[in-house]
Structure 1
């Protein structure tokens, strides 16, 4: 049971627990018997504990807010992907790409295939499937958050071969079929 109002306030504020409150009451009894007073030290310790608790709470709140902002950004990107993806892509031409260290194969039509090879379309992750997006949208998504764009052939098309490369004249096409 709490013996004075200060201990009750400390318990209510969550700065001390029952064990600490008993210790403080024993210290107070000891001080009253011996005539020593450490109230200033106790108040300074309480203020320091309160400041530490406030800092800890602020850091936890900042972390929670960062996580919420990240989730909101992911949801916005997923919504952008679902709104702007190309819906008519079914065909009989297979296109292979790497997703999470695994080779994936999709069947697409010739128009989408040509756009993927030229770099005007990209492949993005859409939940458990893949979406075909225009390059401009993919750049906006990549600026906001990385990890959604899987295949972007526009960077391969802009690579310049070295002048001293003996095989520079022999370009291997990306759309080579076996």
Structure 2
């Protein structure tokens, strides 16, 4: 490059040395006045660059937070899958249909008589793995529920916890047969 803009303008003949000295003097004077009065001279380009860096840093932080959250969810899902795989009970050996609700859908698993009693008593619970349902012991179900409560279906107190006292007792005058299978 051929030096400053002032030098280039002088060489091109667009200004003379006297005007160039006068402009330099005025610029120094403005700088001196601004410094003495405490006013900072704001360079728009530097301010825009600083603003762009701040915005980029904010976007990077948000992206990193999203990636960390995604990695954490993936780790939790892996933990839940491992808990289910290591402690699930064998399916398909029972002949009693055990109905349960998953959200608003009624699902059915075939279980043995002992498993049915344990599910009804809260000793066992049902865990959802993808689109499959597995029967797991209650302590394992509690560990899964700590990580993701939507993946565990309890058949006992949690189902009744949403009801009011009046809704719980509406059937108290009716006798329920012992051999009723739901």
Q: Same fold (TM over 0.5)?
A: yes
List gaps (5 residues or longer) in structure 2: 2-8, 10-14, 28-40
The number of equivalent residue pairs is 146
SS of the residue corresponding to residue 130 of structure 1 reads strand
- Match for 2:77 among 74, 77, 83? 74
CA deviation map 1:42-63 (0-9, x unaligned): 1111111111111111111111
Q: Which runs of 5+ in 1 are unaligned?
A: 4-28
Instruction: Report what 2:104 is aligned to.
Output: 101
Structure 1 residues 55-134: aligned runs within 5 Å: 55-87=58-90, 90-134=93-137
**Cα deviations by residue, 1:131-176 (Å, 9 ceiling, x for unpaired):** 11111111121111121112432445889966xx585365647971
CA–CA distance in 2 between the matches of 1:111 and 1:50? 65
Q: Give the distance between the partners of 2:158 and 2:175, measured in 1 at CA.
A: 16
Greater Cα offset, 69-78 or 36-45: 36-45
Alpha-carbon distance change, 173 to 60 in structure 1, aligned in 2, over 3 angstroms: farther
The alignment yields a C-alpha RMSD, in angstroms, of 3.4
Distance, in Å, in 1 between the alignment partners of 2:71 and 2:114 is 39
Q: Which of residues 51, 54, 57 in structure 2 aligns to 1:54?
A: 57
Is 2:158 the partner of 1:147? no
Alignment deviations for residues 11-33 of structure 1 (CA, whole Å, 9 cap, x no partner): xxxxxxxxxxxxxxxxxx9xxx9
Is contact 1:161–1:168 with CA below 8 Å preserved after alignment? no
Give the number of the structure whose alpha-carbon radius of gyration is greater.
2
